Amino acid sequence: MKLRAKLGVAGAVLTLVAALLVPFVMYGLITKGVTQLGLHVDEVYSGGPAVRTIQKDGYAIVVHRPVMPHMLQSEKPFVQIDWKPVGALPAQVSDVVDVDGDGRPDIRVSFDAKNDPKAELRVNVELMNNRFEAMRNAGKEKYSRLIVRVDDSILVRVPLAGNDGF
């Protein structure tokens, strides 16, 4: 009977050790399996892939593909535009941006590029055509209508006037 008890305890200890070690031993396989699933961050959160970069004096404006939220998401369609690096931006940014790449300006975006990363940002968007929605003194109102600082970029999301992309 003592032998059975010792074997039972030894089996339990080995099971616990195996349970603790298996995730570390199989981490590589688990990682490869997850990457093969093709999962990605939803564009409503990521802003969509970049499609064009406009070079300015010392900084760049990156225009992303329009984002069309899914059926169950309550956000409006929008386009994200990034200004980077923040350190190279003038104190007051006022840029005319050709969002759709047709050679004609679509919007004028104006904001104060504050050096303090925790400072509240506000943006004004003036329309040069009716494909977008104007914004006045907008902050972090919605995912589809905002200005935020992320790392070394200032991101502005401008809502589309309709539900169609470019």
pLDDT digits (tens, 9 = 90+) for 122-141: 999 999 988 999 999 999 98
Domain ranges of the chain: 2-36, 43-159
User: 0.85 exceeded by the pTM?
Assistant: no
What is the structure's pLDDT at 59?
Answer: 96
Measured between its terminal Cα atoms, the distance across the chain in Å is: 78
- The Cα 108–Cα 128 span in angstroms is 8
Residues sharing a CB contact under 8 Å with residue 143, sequence separation 6 or more, in sequence order: 44, 45, 75, 78, 157
**Is residue 11 scored above 70 in pLDDT?**
yes
Torsion angle of alpha carbons 122, 128, 129, 131, nearest 10°?
-20
3-class DSSP assignment, residue 110: strand
How high is the mean pLDDT of the chain?
89
